[in-house]
Chain A
Amino acid sequence: MDSSAIRSRLAGAEGRLFWRSLGELSDTPQFREYLHREFPEQASQWNNPKGRREFLKLMSASLALAGVGACVKQPEERIVPYVRQPEEMVPGRPLFFATAIPFGGVAAPVLVESHEGHPTKVEGNPQHPAALGGSDIFAQASILTLYDPDRLQSIRFRSEVRGWGDFFSAMKGQLGAQRPRQGAGLRFLTERLTSASAAEQIATIKQAYPQAKWHVWDPTAKAAGAPSATYDFTKADVVVTLDADFLTGGPAAIRYTRDFAGRRRAAADAEAAEAAEHVMNRLYAIESTPTLTGAKADHRLPLRASEIAAAAQALSGGNGSGTFSNSAAQAFIAAAAKDLQAHRGRSLVVAGDYQPAAVHAIARQMNEALGNVGVTVTYGPSVDINAGDHAASLRELTQAMHSGQVDLLVILGGNPVFTAPADLHFDVALTKVALSVSLSMFPDETAFVTHWNVPEAHPLESWGDARAFDGTVTVMQPLIAPLYDGKTLQEVLAVFIDAQTGKNAHDLVKEFWTRAYAGTVPGWTFTDPTGQPFKSADSFWRHVLHDGWITGTAAAENGGRRAEGGNVATSDAVASTSAQAPAIAPGPSSALPPPSSSGLEIIFRPDPMIWDGRFANNGWLQELPKPFTKITWDPTAWMSANLAKEKGLIDGDLVELRYRGNTAKLPVAVVPGHPEQSVTVFYGYGRQVTGRVGSSADATAREFDVYKLRTSDALHFGTGLEIAKVGRYLLARTQEHHLMEDRHPVRIATVEEYRKDPEVIARFGERPPRTLTMIPDWDYSQHYKWGLSIDLTSCTGCNTCTIACQSENNIPVVGKEQVDNGREMHWIRVDHYYEGTPEDANSIKTHHQPVPCMQCEKAPCELVCPVGATTHSAEGLNDMVYNRCVGTRYCSNNCPYKVRRFNFLLFQDWETPSLEPLRNPDVTVRSRGVMEKCTYCVQRINLARIDAKREDREIRDGEIVPACASACPADAIVFGNLNDPNARVSKLAARERTYGLLEELNTRPRTTYMAELRNPNPELS
């Protein structure tokens, strides 16, 4: 409005003029328009008959649609066809790419399933010698980390978002200052690495900056000075472990499990005639913390970690009578020693990673004396490019940092602020560094205090390379472009190399390996699988990307060892301890640690699921039940029943641990079979800075940081622990009861018993006659008849099946509170049972049993569903019709196996956009109020069925592999058509040791178990 309009109106007024507002007074056309539209939005429509009708129509339509829209919110989606169809991509059909997921620097070779450009599932690489198709929980769970919305998403400098160019120029500036000083203030800190291309980059950097130093820290690294060994369990008849858990905890375990379990299975199923050549291997486990390896052992001797060295020596000496007063230990060691000697060249002594070098030396001496070297064990250089004493390396770095010598610290991977031993005060030292850089996937404790944070690309976003445990060069290729600003290790290292300026990860990796192929990198020779040289560099590279690995690089020598980590102290002194004269071979080693002092022992172990803490934000791993205790989401301090009794503790008591002046808190878990006067604590929990999943809501859980107790001089165990109860803590378990209660869900016999009388397994239970039913039998002979066989002799209880299933079938994570409520969603669980008396650790035997849906032919669940939401397929599958289910839960009540899972709440995350591409598009994402369960991976069955129909043939045996079977490193799970007499599953089902779980209920389960056979030493039984 303008004042002139008002003025003119006032001037022209006759009589008294009343006005209510200046707007009215000025009476401009705009004001009239405003008045006219008292309801400014739609008012004028009312005056226009046509418009009004339109308005009402729209109004009613939108009201009606509002009701419809309220039902399900349909996401806005754009469907854009390919302008040019990518080669080999058929919409709806996944593609598979070979790559690797490094763990502790060592490659876990994998095949990754990709749906329209987004990876959804990780499988073991079936051709790679280090995997043979198997995988482990970490590889399986890595896909969730890829899509984790809490990842570090941008390059940051002092918490402000910056670009890669900013980082680049900042580093160049630093390097300019370092160049005249030859890099004296430049330090790199990495985890264990096996990448040859990275090794070359580091060597190049060290050439340019000779004073720069490269340090290494991995909290789970094996003891300093321990020799690097690879084992061949296919040739070992007798295996003795010295606190070694070769069946879990790293990519090597995948292949070891396959070999070890394969031997067991072959022996268990050998026909009488060939029994002599298929001798079942015998495993003696001398161990401290109970492990899955110990659980699988035929004989297990629980000792304190500090007693293992003495036991090794006693074993080496042939008997334990001088060392142990305990008659069980004496007998055990004598029998094991005798057995080893009886199997010269076919036996194996395995020393544990967390035992000191002296124990490794004794093991090596024994292996050498027994003629095992070169047969069952190969000692060679480590596949690590930076092997050495991690603690010493980190100590040296920290000292330099404390004294202000470090101008630029580049932390490439790892989370040293969280994981460094308490006595080094790494976090304090870091504040004295002029400029610090961290490359990490998450905003973690280290990223929180370093100046520059570079987001690390996930292995599935990365070009790279790593070596498998046996040395095989394994090349990583990305499945997807980095979701955020992720950079690979090689890309960050390239910043420090003038010659590699501007090169991306692909160029760096490809160029290195092409040069290695061409022979310009010394030490490498490549041949194709037939032993012939490749035709061209291009053919070589294509071959490598297709297979994911390079043939013939298994020997760690191929490619040579590089000692770029010159400042990484290596002490080979221990390994070369002179041989003396023992019973097995060399005698007491001079390098034995001093005998354990009295007092309570503390054993440090990485958490079996979240490892050193790096997987804290991975819900699948957090919710995966930990071995034996079946506790999820929390760490515990393990102790024996006797110690708990002595200290007045029970499960779930919160204790304060005092050790060398430091304290931490942990809840107690009583673990039968744990050695006496010893407590195992697991590091990795108590994260202070991490994503939403890993950061605990309650303050107590933040005190579970066991790293605070760990000192660099005794990383793996020590004595002098004090514990005191300070309260209670809720522990969420997936299994509460661990005794079989005389019900024999796991049927166990010795291989001797079974060979003598195969009926011994059937006698554990009762199998009702097939005529015992009121409902006529369905004729399955005209169809496929799917069946699943689970071999308990092979199964190690590693949980890989559970997490593979979770990944394949879009199974949600429910959280600790819901697990405690008994609402975990795992479709296949691994049951765990003890035998023996908890007070006697020697008597404990442990059994594992994976339990998926039994797909009963006479399924109790189907009968009781009021809406027919669970019905039987013509092929014998017990199908779940999610959209018909109303959720009465009657089926679950009536399921004797309790394998059904119910969506009590909306467990599935429908909101987080980054989790959408994670889901398997072939499997329904279930919502609230719906029952679900194992389907035998029906989507895989149907995929194979489509292929077979198109090619007008039957589905071949082995064409369908459910996710659990595919992931199983022990190859314990076999799926197939029971109507095909030549199918592997039919042959297994016909074995005498095959039985049905609870088959006395006449449910006729399609999932069958093969009894657990063990091979105890008759002398010890």
Chain B
Amino acid sequence: MINPKPATYEPAPLIEPGHTFGSITDKIGGVVLTTKQPLSWIIVVSIGFMIMGMLGMAVTWLLLKGTGIWGVNIPVGWGFAIINFVWWIGIGHAGTLISAILLLLKQGWRTSINRFAEGMTIFAVMCAGLFPLIHTGRPWLAAYWLFPYPNSMSIWPQFRSPLIWDVFAVSTYFTVSLLFWYVGLIPDLATLRDKAKLKPVKVAYGMLALGWRGSARHWQRYEHIYLLLAGLSTPLVLSVHTVVSFDFSIGIIPGWHATIFPPYFVAGAIYAGFAMVLTLAIPLRKVYGMEDFITMRHLENMGKVTLLTGMIVGYGYISEAFFGWYSANKYEGFMILNRMFGPYWYMYWTLIFCNIITPQALWFRKVRTTPMGLFAVAMIVNVGMWLERFVIVVTSLHRDFLPSSWGMYYGTVWDWMTFIGTIGMFVTFFFLFVRFLPMISIFEMRTMAPAAKMKESEGH
């Protein structure tokens, strides 16, 4: 679509006019400090909690019976667990990207969304972290044997294995993301401490605020550490999914053994992450009336990032198909044809529809500025990214080198319960976070208010 009046295009503001420091604090802090929650919150958390209970049941049965309750087999040794792991890790990317990289790039619009995006990251990584552990045959041993702990037998992990790299990459990423999130929360926790009326709430936030008094020295140290953590997080955003992609690209299985994987995975992760941020932001701003802070400008920008990363992912698909042919390797060539026209063809083409066709709608400003449209696209992309991991994991393994060992893979009811269960866990944690912590950074939002701009111009 050609915009008839490009010159007059004025992006929506980052914060709707009319807000003062006080109104911002009340609006955001009020969600936390009120005793009343919208009915929708109670419903969502209840459902989420029940689904999380289902996860508990599925994992308990898994530990009692063994991995065999899932659909994994020989040749498809990895199934839902690894698909879900990569999917959740991917979702966990946007948070840190928004916090760190956009901070370093001085993208002011990150302010409204970074807090809950970081929360999303933490919870997504928690969901992801569950899977590598429970997918093993003997999780009670895998829980610590994968770490290089000193022991009397002098046995170390096998450092050539990408799974070990994974352990380090994911645990580092989780730690740094958590720190980054927590450090960013401190000034707001102090605000909540000051605003809280009930004693126990005051004490709780007071403990969490670590004695923040908002002195200039505090602010100076805060700015330092926040910038440092941003600098530390930035390479992690790239490294985590690069390492996750090594799980596949180090293998010799056609469909895995590809050099395109690291950038393709990182782009896919950001793509999935932004889709998930949109998925969460659009209902949140509606339910809590945060349209003033999460404006159309934010949604539109996230739509643009989604479109861009979607295009990179699309390039990845095309390059896979191209090299399948160009390599003149019969296994590679077969692999790509098998993906497109083999028994899992419907997965592949649904994936193409979800991840390449659908985001093209974001070329239209109309779509980018319609919350419902954006939400629909984001949900489709979420599904598409899960399918992408399914296609990579399953369709590569199920028909590899020797036709005699070809097989099929289907998830069982336990696979689905575990997967949906982690969604319940995510929802539960996320909405508890919304309830007990400010979902938008109060102090950073205050810097967006017109009053702050005025002060700044007076010489900050």
Interface residues of A (CB under 8 A from B): 735-743, 745, 818, 821-823, 829, 831-833, 849, 851, 860, 863-868, 884-890, 892-894, 896-898, 900-906, 928-931, 997-998, 1001
Interface positions, chain B 52-67, Cβ under 8 Å from A, are 65-67
**Which residues of chain B come closer than 8 Å to A851, judged between CB atoms?**
402, 404
Could you list 14 examples of A-B contacts with CB < 8 Å? A736-B406, A737-B404, A741-B403, A822-B408, A864-B250, A884-B145, A886-B137, A889-B78, A896-B401, A896-B402, A898-B74, A902-B74, A905-B68, A931-B137
Residue among A829, A905, A998 making CB contact with B401, cutoff 8 Å: A998
Q: In the bound complex, how far is the Cα of B407 from the Cα of A829, in angstroms?
A: 15
Interface positions, chain B 393-417, Cβ under 8 Å from A, are 397, 399-408
**Which residues of chain A come closer than 8 Å to B252, judged between CB atoms?**
860, 894, 896, 1001
| 4 residue pairs, one from A and one from B, having the closest CB atoms | A887-B137, A929-B137, A904-B68, A822-B73
Q: In the bound complex, how far is the Cα of B161 from the Cα of A867, in angstroms?
A: 8
Q: In the bound complex, how far is the Cα of B251 from the Cα of A906, in angstroms?
A: 28
**Which residues of chain B come closer than 8 Å to A823, judged between CB atoms?**
68, 73-74
**Which residues of chain B come closer than 8 Å to A890, judged between CB atoms?**
77-78, 161, 163, 247, 251
Most chain B CB within a 10 A radius of its CB, from A823, A833, A898: A898
State the main secondary structure of chain A at its contact with B. loop
Q: In the bound complex, how far is the Cα of B243 from the Cα of A866, in angstroms?
A: 14
A737-B399, A900-B74 known; 19 other A-B pairs, CB under 8 Å?
Answer: A736-B406, A738-B404, A829-B404, A831-B402, A863-B161, A864-B160, A887-B138, A890-B247, A892-B75, A893-B397, A896-B401, A897-B401, A898-B405, A904-B73, A905-B65, A905-B68, A929-B66, A929-B138, A931-B137
Q: Are A888 and B142 interface neighbours, CB within 8 A?
A: yes
Q: Are A902 and B330 interface neighbours, CB within 8 A?
A: no
Q: In the bound complex, how far is the Cα of B403 from the Cα of A736, in angstroms?
A: 8
Q: In the bound complex, how far is the Cα of B398 from the Cα of A892, in angstroms?
A: 12
In the complex, B98 has a CB within 8 A of chain A: no
The minimal Cβ–Cβ distance linking A740 to chain B, given in whole angstroms, is 6
**Which residues of chain B come closer than 8 Å to A898, judged between CB atoms?**
74-75, 400, 402, 405
Residue among B135, B251, B401, B403 making CB contact with A864, cutoff 8 Å: B251
**Which residues of chain B come closer than 8 Å to A745, judged between CB atoms?**
402-404
Q: Are B400 and A896 interface neighbours, CB within 8 A?
A: yes
Q: Are A893 and B78 interface neighbours, CB within 8 A?
A: yes
B167 nearest in chain A by CB position: A866
**Which residues of chain B come closer than 8 Å to A885, judged between CB atoms?**
137-138
**Which residues of chain A come closer than 8 Å to B71, judged between CB atoms?**
821
Q: In the bound complex, how far is the Cα of B331 from the Cα of A742, in angstroms?
A: 10
Residue among B161, B162, B253, B403 making CB contact with A743, cutoff 8 Å: B403
Produce 1/0 per residue, B29-47, CB < 8 A to A.
Answer: 0000000000000000000
Interface positions, chain B 115-163, Cβ under 8 Å from A, are 135-139, 141-142, 145-146, 155-158, 160-163
Q: In the bound complex, how far is the Cα of B145 from the Cα of A929, in angstroms?
A: 15
In the complex, B182 has a CB within 8 A of chain A: no
Q: In the bound complex, how far is the Cα of B317 from the Cα of A618, in angstroms?
A: 50
Produce 1/0 per residue, B225-252, CB < 8 A to A.
Answer: 0000000000000000000000100111
A869 nearest in chain B by CB position: B158
Q: Are B66 and A928 interface neighbours, CB within 8 A?
A: yes
Q: In the bound complex, how far is the Cα of B331 from the Cα of A363, in angstroms?
A: 49
Q: Are A930 and B401 interface neighbours, CB within 8 A?
A: no
**Which residues of chain B come closer than 8 Å to A906, judged between CB atoms?**
66
The minimal Cβ–Cβ distance linking B161 to chain A, given in whole angstroms, is 4
The minimal Cβ–Cβ distance linking A763 to chain B, given in whole angstroms, is 15
**Which residues of chain B come closer than 8 Å to A735, judged between CB atoms?**
404-405
Q: In the bound complex, how far is the Cα of B142 from the Cα of A22, in angstroms?
A: 63
Q: In the bound complex, how far is the Cα of B331 from the Cα of A700, in angstroms?
A: 41
Q: Are B77 and A892 interface neighbours, CB within 8 A?
A: yes
The minimal Cβ–Cβ distance linking A473 to chain B, given in whole angstroms, is 43
The minimal Cβ–Cβ distance linking B339 to chain A, given in whole angstroms, is 15
Residue among B137, B158, B404 making CB contact with A903, cutoff 8 Å: B137
Q: Are B401 and A886 interface neighbours, CB within 8 A?
A: no
Q: Are A889 and B407 interface neighbours, CB within 8 A?
A: no
**Which residues of chain A come closer than 8 Å to B247, judged between CB atoms?**
890
Task: Known contacts A863-B250, A867-B146, A884-B155; decide if A889 and B161 are in contact (CB<8 Å).
Answer: no
Q: In the bound complex, how far is the Cα of B136 from the Cα of A892, in angstroms?
A: 13
In the complex, B21 has a CB within 8 A of chain A: no
Interface residues of B (CB under 8 A from A): 65-69, 71-78, 135-139, 141-142, 145-146, 155-158, 160-164, 167, 247, 250-253, 330-331, 334, 397, 399-408
**Which residues of chain B come closer than 8 Å to A928, judged between CB atoms?**
66, 137-138
Q: Are B68 and A818 interface neighbours, CB within 8 A?
A: yes
**Which residues of chain B come closer than 8 Å to A901, judged between CB atoms?**
74
Q: In the bound complex, how far is the Cα of B165 from the Cα of A863, in angstroms?
A: 13
Q: In the bound complex, how far is the Cα of B257 from the Cα of A864, in angstroms?
A: 13
Task: Known contacts A893-B78, A931-B137; decide if A886 and B253 are in contact (CB<8 Å).
Answer: no
Q: In the bound complex, how far is the Cα of B6 from the Cα of A573, in angstroms?
A: 106
**Which residues of chain B come closer than 8 Å to A860, judged between CB atoms?**
251-252
Task: Known contacts A864-B251, A886-B137, A898-B75; decide if A739 and B403 are in contact (CB<8 Å).
Answer: yes
Q: Are A902 and B137 interface neighbours, CB within 8 A?
A: yes
**Which residues of chain A come closer than 8 Å to B155, judged between CB atoms?**
868, 884
Q: In the bound complex, how far is the Cα of B67 from the Cα of A821, in angstroms?
A: 12
A860 nearest in chain B by CB position: B252
Task: Known contacts A888-B135, A928-B66; decide if A866 and B72 are in contact (CB<8 Å).
Answer: no
Q: Are B162 and A864 interface neighbours, CB within 8 A?
A: yes
**Which residues of chain B come closer than 8 Å to A737, judged between CB atoms?**
399, 403-404, 406
Q: Are B78 and A894 interface neighbours, CB within 8 A?
A: no
Q: Are B400 and A904 interface neighbours, CB within 8 A?
A: no
The minimal Cβ–Cβ distance linking B270 to chain A, given in whole angstroms, is 26
Q: In the bound complex, how far is the Cα of B412 from the Cα of A823, in angstroms?
A: 15
Q: Are B77 and A930 interface neighbours, CB within 8 A?
A: no
The minimal Cβ–Cβ distance linking B325 to chain A, given in whole angstroms, is 16
Q: Are B75 and A822 interface neighbours, CB within 8 A?
A: yes
**Which residues of chain A come closer than 8 Å to B141, judged between CB atoms?**
886
**Which residues of chain A come closer than 8 Å to B156, judged between CB atoms?**
868
Most chain A CB within a 10 A radius of its CB, from B71, B156, B252, B331: B252
Task: Known contacts A865-B158, A886-B138; decide if A822 and B407 are in contact (CB<8 Å).
Answer: yes
**Which residues of chain B come closer than 8 Å to A997, judged between CB atoms?**
402
Q: In the bound complex, how far is the Cα of B71 from the Cα of A832, in angstroms?
A: 25
A821 nearest in chain B by CB position: B73
Task: Known contacts A896-B401, A898-B405, A930-B138; decide if A889 and B72 are in contact (CB<8 Å).
Answer: yes
Q: Are B402 and A904 interface neighbours, CB within 8 A?
A: no
B252 nearest in chain A by CB position: A860
Q: Are A894 and B66 interface neighbours, CB within 8 A?
A: no
The minimal Cβ–Cβ distance linking A999 to chain B, given in whole angstroms, is 11
Q: In the bound complex, how far is the Cα of B407 from the Cα of A920, in angstroms?
A: 31
**Which residues of chain B come closer than 8 Å to A736, judged between CB atoms?**
406-408
Residue among A821, A831, A863, A887 making CB contact with B160, cutoff 8 Å: A863
Q: Are A822 and B404 interface neighbours, CB within 8 A?
A: no
Q: In the bound complex, how far is the Cα of B408 from the Cα of A442, in angstroms?
A: 38
Q: In the bound complex, how far is the Cα of B403 from the Cα of A997, in angstroms?
A: 13
Q: Are A867 and B74 interface neighbours, CB within 8 A?
A: no
Residue among A829, A833, A866, A900 making CB contact with B161, cutoff 8 Å: A866
Q: In the bound complex, how far is the Cα of B405 from the Cα of A867, in angstroms?
A: 26
The minimal Cβ–Cβ distance linking B414 to chain A, given in whole angstroms, is 12
Most chain A CB within a 10 A radius of its CB, from B65, B68, B74: B74
Q: In the bound complex, how far is the Cα of B330 from the Cα of A738, in angstroms?
A: 18
The minimal Cβ–Cβ distance linking B402 to chain A, given in whole angstroms, is 6
Q: Are B403 and A833 interface neighbours, CB within 8 A?
A: yes
A907 nearest in chain B by CB position: B68
Q: Are A889 and B137 interface neighbours, CB within 8 A?
A: yes
Q: Are A894 and B251 interface neighbours, CB within 8 A?
A: yes
A741 nearest in chain B by CB position: B403
Q: In the bound complex, how far is the Cα of B331 from the Cα of A691, in angstroms?
A: 46
Q: Are B146 and A743 interface neighbours, CB within 8 A?
A: no
**Which residues of chain B come closer than 8 Å to A892, judged between CB atoms?**
74-75, 77
Q: Are A930 and B334 interface neighbours, CB within 8 A?
A: no
The minimal Cβ–Cβ distance linking B77 to chain A, given in whole angstroms, is 3
Q: Are B404 and A886 interface neighbours, CB within 8 A?
A: no
**Which residues of chain B come closer than 8 Å to A893, judged between CB atoms?**
75, 77-78, 251, 253, 397
